[in-house]
Structure 1
Amino acid sequence: MNLAAFSWTDWVALAALVAVTAYLLIVLFKPEDFS
């Protein structure tokens, strides 16, 4: 996998996807922390 082939927009989209996924996992598996 060539990291240089990724443009900055690809990295932004990837980072957003990871952030949303992590947020959803935290909310789904640790709801008591957000009550």
Structure 2
Amino acid sequence: MSSPSPPEVFHNRNKTIRLWFCRDSFDIQIYLIISCQA
């Protein structure tokens, strides 16, 4: 269970989000909130 890097999300938001959604939709939600605040 490894967490993705924040910079990777910004680089591949669509691809990363899609993969996360399949793996864990909860993880993506938390990351999205952090990315919005960051």
Give the TM-score normalised by structure 2.
0.39
Q: Looking at CA atoms only, which structure, 1 or 2, has the larger radius of gyration?
A: 1
Higher RCO, 1 or 2 (CA under 8 Å, sep at least 6)?
2
Give the TM-score normalised by structure 1.
0.41
